[in-house]
Amino acid sequence: MSNDLFVKALMLQQKIKFLRAMKGEVVIIRRFKPSEKTKKQLNLPNDFMYVVVYNPKTKKLSCDCFGFLRWKKCKHTEYFRSFIQELEKNENTN
């Protein structure tokens, strides 16, 4: 897949996530900027950002970064996983 096509696919994926968030299907937790090195390597636009999303139905996190796309886990989702587990634990005790 060419680099430009790959970037277009990522941008489309993000638009779908924002639409799902507007419908209430998922919750956008945070947006991250990729490093300058990654932007140059992949020819990403300057305004490109990774999006970390939480799906309350499946209780799963997802991210647009390349680590998550490749291995289905990344530092962004791992960071928020502990917060969500703590919130769920507190919710269950009340």
Query: Which pLDDT value is given to residue 18?
Result: 76
The CA angle 10-13-19, to the nearest 5 degrees, is 145
- Give the pTM: 0.73
| Residue 80 burial (C-beta neighbours within 10 Å; 0-12, 13-18, 19+) | middle
What is the chain's pLDDT, residue by residue, as a tens digit (94 residues)? Answer: 566 777 777 777 777 777 787 788 888 888 889 889 988 888 888 888 888 999 888 889 999 888 888 898 899 999 899 888 888 888 777 6
* Cα–Cα distance measured from residue 53 to residue 86, given in angstroms and rounded to the nearest whole number: 17
The CA angle 70-30-66, to the nearest 5 degrees, is 15
